[in-house]
Chains A and B, each alone.
Chain A
């Protein structure tokens, strides 16, 4: 399993400094949740880890060159495009074009991945007809099919109802024994309940540690700029 170390990582987007000298450790085989206010650079951090943004400073993986699985906040696609869930998942596995149908090996892997995220019933549904929570589970299945060392999730529960969110958290709890998980979240109670390690980000790292250490009034006040009454509401 892979650990990630960021040493004075800075990311500049045009003239805007999105991340400033971020120093953090993401431990292997645990679920790390990155929290912070809007504009704190959480998604920028995720994109940097995924190798999509140039950065200054040192970003190291141990062992090096890990495989990534990525679950975005939402999937922006043409919902009227004729595409079954099984076809969507198969595209990333094989070059065999969709118009020839799914090969038996690919089909088996697709159904296994859907079973792993408790979504076997979605295989023959059109992508445009499934709900937000179902889409997130399909994206999780797609990410898992690459057999990732590091699973990165960018606010995966946005727009998902409470049952869908609960199911997603349970799935991640099951997966963290086999993968290093990095998740961006706005949902502090969920982060508190499911994270093993928390990084508080506001363009720089304000604090990092176990949920027990992080979910204290003074840390939340420093990260989010909350007043005492607001931060106590999270207990």
Chain B
């Protein structure tokens, strides 16, 4: 974990307690990832995909307890499978993607509730996924987030153009499936990791709000991407700082999302006063 020391030293300029330094680096890594991938989520109209995947965590935790498996790997595999299932059903073309997401979402929640009702002790394991807590992340989790940023940069390098072109068209020749499946799997992993920091209830906001702000303020894809990244990272850091103030003393995840929504509100007012060109 020595690799993290320079990052912690940087965070030390702002915060003294070690848990705050870890939280700051974790939030930086998480918001870099979610803001960047959120651009593709919003442009491909998959805003409810993170919700569906996030809610599968109920079933994952209950299954892990029933089958005596590790919780982390089980929820990750559960999310991955549902991500691939949504992609498969959406690509078959018989149902609109929002209908598919709605179906999988309901199915995942129902399965989770059924399993939890059978296994009442699972309820205690669920609470940390419900609300998440970035202040309790370990060095290992921070390291996992650093690796996620690297994987995200590589994934988005190769997936951005094929996925964006695929969502616009026109299509020539038989369509290629692999970018959609790869993105479905990758997004599921991002959601499952983000859930542990901000919770199931707020994970969608972390992905969607910065991208929505970027979309509002710019007319180019490049502009949207970097605006979303700047807004998402800024909201993460401002939210952490604000929640640490004794006068506020609020949950970090919720505060980050509130700051994100406030930035979006300011952007909407700005766009109202200065309409986009074109």
A interface residues, Cβ below 8 angstroms from B = 50-52, 68-72, 75-78, 80-84, 87-88, 91-92, 94-101, 125-126, 128-129, 139, 146
Contacts and interface: CB of A to CB of B under 8 A. Distances in A.
B223 interface: yes
A82 B219 contact: yes
Interface stretch (B46-54, B63-71, B158-166, B193-201): B158-166
Contacts of A97: 156-157, 160-161
Contacts of B120: none
Nearest to A100: B222
B47 to A, nearest CB: 12
B267 to A, nearest CB: 13
Given A81-B43, A128-B278, A95 B158 contact: yes
Given A91-B164, A95-B161, A128-B278, A68 B223 contact: no
A200 B111 CA distance: 56
B156 A139 contact: no
B215 interface: yes
B174 A91 contact: no
Interface in B143-194: 156-158, 160-162, 164-165, 167-174
Nearest to B161: A91
Q: Which of A68, A70, A97 has the most CB of B within 10 A?
A: A97
Contact of A98 (B169, B215, B221): B221
Given A98-B221, A100-B222, 19 more contacts: A52-B174, A71-B170, A72-B170, A77-B167, A80-B215, A81-B168, A82-B215, A82-B218, A82-B224, A83-B168, A84-B221, A91-B165, A97-B156, A97-B157, A98-B164, A99-B156, A126-B276, A126-B278, A128-B278
B219 A88 contact: no
B45 interface: yes
A46 to B, nearest CB: 11
Nearest to A84: B220
B226 interface: yes
Contacts of A69: 172
Contacts of B161: 91, 94-98
B222 A139 contact: no
29 contacts: A50-B173, A52-B171, A52-B174, A69-B172, A72-B169, A72-B170, A75-B168, A77-B167, A78-B167, A81-B43, A82-B218, A82-B220, A82-B223, A83-B168, A84-B220, A88-B168, A91-B161, A92-B165, A95-B157, A95-B158, A97-B156, A98-B160, A99-B156, A99-B221, A99-B222, A99-B225, A125-B278, A128-B278, A139-B170
Q: Which of B165, B174, B222, B226 has the most CB of A within 10 A?
A: B222
Nearest to A97: B160
Contacts of B45: 78
Nearest to B278: A129
A101 B222 CA distance: 6
B213 to A, nearest CB: 12
Nearest to B172: A70
B91 to A, nearest CB: 14
B183 to A, nearest CB: 13
B164 A68 contact: no
B268 to A, nearest CB: 14
B188 to A, nearest CB: 21
Q: Which of A77, A81, A88, A101 has the most CB of B within 10 A?
A: A81
A91 B43 CA distance: 15
A63 to B, nearest CB: 17
A84 B170 contact: no
B168 A98 contact: no
Contacts of B219: 82, 84, 126
B224 to A, nearest CB: 4
Q: Which of B36, B165, B219 has the most CB of A within 10 A?
A: B219
Contacts of B167: 77-78
B172 A82 contact: no
B225 A98 contact: yes
A233 B96 CA distance: 44
A84 B218 CA distance: 10
Contacts of B220: 82-84, 87, 126
Contacts of B223: 82
Contacts of A95: 157-158, 161-162
A75 B158 contact: no
A82 B226 CA distance: 12
A228 B170 CA distance: 39
Q: Which of A80, A96, A99 has the most CB of B within 10 A?
A: A99
A82 B39 CA distance: 10
A82 B174 CA distance: 27
